[in-house]
Amino acid sequence: MVLVDLISRIPAWSRFIDSLKDWQPGSPSSLGVIRSARFALLAALRKSFQQPMLYLVDKPSHANLALDELKFWLPEIEILSFPAPDPLFYEPGAWDPFIRSERIKTLTKLAELQLPGQKQATEPLLIVTPVRSLMTKTVDRRSFLKGIHILRVNQQHHLDKLIHDWAQIGYEAESIVLEPGKFSKRGGLLDIWPPSSPAPLRIDFFGDEIDSIHTFDPQSQRNLKSLDSVKIAPAREVFTTNELQDGKLSEFPSEFLLPLSLENPETLLDYLPQNSLFITDDRIQISVLAEDIEEQAEKLKQQSVIDGILPDDFPAPYFSLSEIMDRADSFPLVDFGRGDERPDAAISDLFSPAPRFSGKLQHLMDFILDGYLSDKRVAVVSRQAQRLRLMWNNLEISTESGIAPEFIQGTLHEGFQLTHPNISFALLTDSEIFGWERPLPRKSQLKVAENPENSFADLKPDDYVVHIDYGIGKYVGVVNRTVDGITKDYLCLEYAKGDQLFVPVHQADRVTNYIGPDGRKPELTRLGTQEWLGVKQHVREKVVEVAQDLLELYAARQVAPGFAFSRDSIWQQEMESSFPYMETEDQKIAINQVKADMERARPMDRLICGDVGFGKTEVALRAAFKASCDSKQVAVLVPTTVLAQQHYETFKQRFASFPLNVEMLSRFRTVKEQAEILEKLKQGEIDIIIGTHRLVSKDVQFKDLGLLIIDEEQRFGVSQKEFLKKKRTEVDVLTMTATPIPRTLYMALTG
Better-scored residue on pLDDT, 731 or 278: 278
Q: Residue 24 above 90 pLDDT?
A: no
Report the C-alpha dihedral over residues 286, 121, 40, 128, rounded to 10 degrees. -20
**Do 588 and 699 fall within a single domain?**
yes
Q: Rounded to whole angstroms, how far apart are CA atoms 275 and 227?
A: 33
What does the pLDDT read at residue 719? 45
Q: Residue 496 above 90 pLDDT?
A: yes
Q: Rounded to whole angstroms, how far apart are CA atoms 149 and 312?
A: 37
Average pLDDT, the chain: 83
Q: Over the stretch 238-274, which tens digit does the pLDDT of each residue have?
A: 776 555 555 555 566 677 777 777 788 899 999 998 8
**Do 406 and 305 fall within a single domain?**
no
Range scoring the smallest mean pLDDT among 50-54, 292-296, 381-385, 553-557: 553-557
Residue 507's nearest CA partner among 221, 742, 133 is 221
**Do 389 and 370 fall within a single domain?**
yes
**Do 270 and 200 fall within a single domain?**
no
pLDDT, average across residues 473-495: 84
Q: Residue 435 above 50 pLDDT?
A: yes
Q: Residue 339 above 80 pLDDT?
A: no
**Do 569 and 672 fall within a single domain?**
yes
Residue 684 backbone zone (phi > 0: left; psi -120 to 50: alpha; other: beta): left
pLDDT, average across residues 694-721: 77
Q: Residue 714 above 50 pLDDT?
A: yes
**Do 603 and 736 fall within a single domain?**
yes
* Domain membership flag for residue 77: yes
pLDDT, average across residues 612-629: 91
The three state secondary structure string of 539-583 is HHHHHHHHHHHHHHHHHHHHHCCCCCCCCCCHHHHHHHHCCCCCC
Query: Angle between the 616-629 and 570-577 helix axes, to the nearest 10 degrees?
Result: 160
For residue 612, the one-letter residue type is V
Q: Residue 91 above 70 pLDDT?
A: yes
CATH number at residue 591: 3.40.50.300
Domain boundary among 232, 262, 292: 232
Band the pLDDT of 663: cuts 50, 70, 90.
very high
Q: Rounded to whole angstroms, how far apart are CA atoms 404 and 392?
A: 10
**Do 738 and 595 fall within a single domain?**
yes
Query: Which of 115-129, 251-265, 696-710 shows the highest mean pLDDT?
Result: 696-710
The boundaries of the domain holding residue 708 are 560-750
**Do 376 and 418 fall within a single domain?**
yes
**Do 428 and 397 fall within a single domain?**
yes
**Do 593 and 657 fall within a single domain?**
yes
**Do 648 and 743 fall within a single domain?**
yes
**Do 315 and 394 fall within a single domain?**
no
CATH number at residue 200: 3.30.2060.10
Q: From residue 534, how far is each of 204, 276, 470, 544 by CA, in Å?
A: 41, 70, 12, 16
Q: Over the stretch 194-226, which tens digit does the pLDDT of each residue have?
A: 988 889 999 999 888 999 999 998 887 888 899
pLDDT, average across residues 90-117: 84
Range scoring the smallest mean pLDDT among 240-249, 409-418, 695-704: 240-249
* Domain membership flag for residue 679: yes
Peptide bond into 218 cis (omega under 30): no
Tally of structural domains, the chain: 5
Query: Which of 464-473, 556-565, 695-704 shows the highest mean pLDDT?
Result: 464-473
* Domain membership flag for residue 491: yes
* Domain membership flag for residue 37: yes
Band the pLDDT of 81: cuts 50, 70, 90.
very high
Range scoring the smallest mean pLDDT among 189-193, 616-620, 740-744: 740-744
pTM over 0.75: no
CATH number at residue 252: 3.40.50.11180
Q: Is residue 516 exposed (0-12), middle (13-18) or buried (19+ Cβ within 10 Å)?
A: exposed
Q: Rounded to whole angstroms, how far apart are CA atoms 543 and 251?
A: 55
Q: Which residues pair with 186 in a beta bridge?
A: 189
Band the pLDDT of 525: cuts 50, 70, 90.
very high
Residue 103 dihedral angles phi and psi, to the nearest 5°:
-65, -45
Q: Residue 36 above 80 pLDDT?
A: yes
pLDDT, average across residues 366-387: 86
Q: Residue 390 above 90 pLDDT?
A: no
Contact of 155 with 210, CB cutoff 8 Å: yes
Q: Over the stretch 636-652, which tens digit does the pLDDT of each residue have?
A: 998 888 889 999 999 98
Widest distance between CA atoms in the chain: 91
Range scoring the smallest mean pLDDT among 206-210, 458-462, 595-599, 631-635: 458-462
* Domain membership flag for residue 9: no
* Domain membership flag for residue 630: yes
How many Cβ atoms from other residues are within 10 Å of residue 389's Cβ? Answer: 17
* Domain membership flag for residue 696: yes
